[in-house]
Structure 1
Amino acid sequence: MDFFQRLAALNLTGDLKLVITNTPNGQRVTLLLVNDLCGDEARKQIAPLNITGTPTELDAGFFNIIEKPMQQASGLMVNLEAFQKSLEKTQQQSAKEKLEESTKKKAKEELNKAYDAAMKKVEELEKEKRYREAYAKTPDPEQHPDQAESIRKKRAELLANFSQPGLFDAIPVQSASQPSTEENTSGVETSTNATIESVTA
């Protein structure tokens, strides 16, 4: 099998850089696999593979020597790339979840603030015995599920005060059948006049 066919059969991911240097005892072959698609900086820590031997030795054992380490380096960088992508995805998901959590927390704080303000107004109106207005100002239990029971209890208390007697309910109403003082006085005066007329006659 030809050199390049055997090289292609390794199925490496990335760019294989190969440098051949003549030495006094033969040749030194330096191989470095580079995968620019791998965003992890750890890939730069992978050292080049150096092989030294005579041309005959290199022809006989070159691919047997480089096959395993080159495939390991290729797989490592592919794994690093996958790891980097998963890490970025996890970071994005984490940031998204934190944003959603922050938004929910802020919304809940605003809701609790609105609840406290509404209940404060209800208490003020209740102290003034303006029960109907206080009832109308109570928050919606569906919008405040955590305080729903307290809201329903307060509404029941206010509703019970609707039937209490008002300010003018205690004033007695005068009976129409009871004769007035003016009528009695008038009657006395009439009777007296009649007696005087009778004596004169």
Structure 2
Amino acid sequence: MTTVVLKTWCILLCAVFISAQVMPMPDFDLEKMRGKWYVSGFATNAKKFVTDLKAGMKMATAVMVPTEDGDLDLSYSHLKSDGSCFRMHHLAKKTEIPGRFVFNNELWANSNDMRVVDAKFDEYAIVHTIKTRGKESEFLNKLHTRSRKVAEDLKGKFREFSRETGILEENIAILPMNGECTEA
């Protein structure tokens, strides 16, 4: 039992170290993030993901708008199974490192350190976020795509990146297609 606990702690510490080393892509272009994206992949080390969330998750829509100050306005919408819409909005503030943004999520009471780690802006963007609440941190990787259809090689790339950042295979999801919320 003690060996299992020690191994688990080692894995968690390694994952924290790896995540802290994840840097934004070197040639990040804020303006190319502009527009509509589909949240096609979701991976996290959050404990409740597999037990409470993964089975019911479906593709969501994100709209990203760069501001004049170099920040990134993020609007998310998700069509729920009852036909209603869940919406969320954040203003991600730029940092001294291009492609790295920070914001607070009042709904979940956490601070977020978001990094665009890979992108072919007309096709996809892989975003790594460190979410901190109190003294605990979790990692979240999202695969944003311009199309609802996700190529197999891109799914593989997202899965590989997620595993490299310490996320277990069962905590990685390629989300099924979903309807979209109507504009409010």
TM over 0.5: no
Instruction: Choose between structure 1 and 2: higher strand proportion.
Output: 2
Which protein, 1 or 2, shows the higher relative CO under an 8 Å CA cutoff with sep ≥ 6? Answer: 2
Greater Rg, structure 1 or structure 2?
1
* TM-score normalised per structure 2: 0.24
* TM-score normalised per structure 1: 0.23
Instruction: Choose between structure 1 and 2: higher helix proportion.
Output: 1
